[in-house]
């Protein structure tokens, strides 16, 4: 039998993206450095990720060591982030969203409702004329269901009740799967730096799984890169427009990481900052090289997610951000390029 702590970890293995699971991760009295000192964790995470990329599925089971399973999931997150490949990220998200959904099909209704609320879905368990439904506000149903291509997901196929779209358990779990994908994407984007030992394993793994990555997908990486400022998200345009007034640390960090991803060289980025009131070339060079992973711990920092940018205070969301549910500045570039074409 599992003890209370084991049951907590079992929940975290089944739903590693849940609020309770993330709180559990933060409370672990062991550092990532200590975890990685046991090479078997990283090796198991590598093998599991390789299986995911090759087979496109995971068997929905929890081992006798749920703590280990949970930790390995987050090592996989670091590996996926280190790989920095759009197809791999999508494959990982798709597999784990189905993995969690398979457990949801067997949870009691109260747990399903709780998980939905932790995912930000204002769902209510409703008993109408003796029938049990999950009620989802119309606007939330529309936001998630528009990603489902099956014509069955048109609104007129579902009963309505006081502003709620009524779903049976099966349909509600399918809708939740889309919300899970969004949360998993946010978790991946929240990783701003990856330990060097994980990056090294990721590069070896990439060579092993190249044959599983469709060539058409590989070409999509270029869709996120451009020097055409018109394709940049409004937050980046705002930073560029205000660079001459001086930018705070978070703003400079975001701009440097973004411009480097767009293909600007270190010297080109440094030159852009020479219009700031307190420009110091030596200090600017040091800061830029640190962000690009050329100094210190040699960690190359990623472009912050939209959630981070909102917390920094310079989110300037426009209609495209809202229409396409943009969660990351690079997705904005991709959407804008396609939109303009």
The helix (H) or strand (E) run that includes residue 211 is none
Phi, psi of 125 (to 5 degrees): -85, 120
Q: What is the model's pLDDT at position 218? A: 42
Residue with tokens 């709780």: 114
CA 112 to the chain's CA centroid? 22
User: Please, which residues have CB within 8 angstroms of residue 341's CB and are 6 or more apart in sequence?
Assistant: none
Q: What is the model's pLDDT at position 339? A: 62
**Residue 226 region, left (φ>0) first, then alpha (ψ -120 to 50), else beta?**
beta
Q: What is the model's pLDDT at position 91? A: 92
Q: What is the model's pLDDT at position 168? A: 93
Q: What is the model's pLDDT at position 222? A: 55
* Residue 5: CB atoms within 10 Å: 11
Q: Where are the domains of the chain?
A: 4-101+193-205, 109-179, 225-340
Q: Rounded CA gap, 291 and 289, in Å?
A: 6
Helix (H, G, I), strand (E, B) or coil at 59: coil
- Cβ-count burial of 223 within 10 angstroms (0-12 exposed, 13-18 middle, 19+ buried)? middle
Q: Rounded CA gap, 121 and 136, in Å?
A: 8
The helix (H) or strand (E) run that includes residue 244 is none
Q: What is the model's pLDDT at position 215? A: 60
Measured N-to-C along each axis, helices 66-83 and 196-209 cross at an angle, to the nearest 10 degrees, of: 80
Where in the chain does DSSP place strands (E)?
124-128, 131-137, 160-161, 164-167
The structure's pTM equals 0.67
Give every residue of the chain whose pLDDT is below 70, as ranges. 1-5, 215-224, 296-298, 339-341
């Amino acid at each position: 039998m599992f003890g209370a702590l084991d049951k907590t970890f079992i929940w975290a293995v089944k739903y590693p993206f849940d609020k309770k699971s993330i709180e559990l991760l933060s409370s672990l009295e062991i550092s990532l450095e200590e975890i990685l000192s046991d090479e078997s964790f990283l090796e198991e995470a590598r093998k599991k990720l390789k299986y995911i990329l090759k087979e496109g599925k995971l068997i929905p089971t929890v081992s006798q060591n749920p703590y280990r399973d949970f930790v390995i999931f987050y090592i996989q997150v670091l590996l996926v982030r280190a790989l920095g490949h759009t197809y791999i990220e999508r494959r990982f998200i798709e597999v784990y969203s189905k993995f969690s959904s398979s457990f949801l099909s067997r949870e009691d209704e109260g747990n399903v409702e709780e998980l939905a609320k932790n995912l930000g879905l204002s769902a209510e368990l409703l008993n109408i004329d003796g029938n049990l439904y999950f009620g989802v506000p119309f606007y939330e149903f529309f936001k998630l269901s528009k990603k489902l291509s099956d014509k069955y997901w048109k609104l007129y196929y579902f009963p309505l009740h006081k502003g709620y779209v009524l779903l049976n358990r099966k349909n509600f779990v399918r809708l939740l799967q889309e919300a899970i994908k969004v949360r998993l994407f946010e978790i991946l984007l929240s990783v701003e730096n990856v330990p060097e030992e994980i990056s090294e394993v990721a590069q070896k793994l990439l060579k092993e799984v190249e044959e599983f990555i469709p060539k058409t997908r590989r070409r999509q990486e270029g869709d996120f890169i451009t020097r055409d400022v018109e394709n940049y998200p409004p937050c980046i345009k705002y930073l560029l427009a205000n660079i001459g007034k001086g930018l705070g640390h978070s703003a400079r960090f975001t701009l440097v990481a973004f411009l480097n991803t767009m293909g600007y060289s270190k010297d080109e980025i440094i030159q852009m900052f020479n219009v700031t009131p307190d420009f110091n070339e030596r200090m600017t060079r040091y800061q830029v090289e640190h962000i690009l992973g050329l100094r210190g711990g040699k960690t190359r920092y990623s472009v912050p997610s939209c959630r981070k940018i909102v917390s920094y205070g310079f989110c300037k969301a426009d209609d495209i951000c809202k229409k396409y549910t943009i969660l990351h500045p690079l997705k904005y570039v991709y959407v804008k390029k396609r939109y303009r074409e």
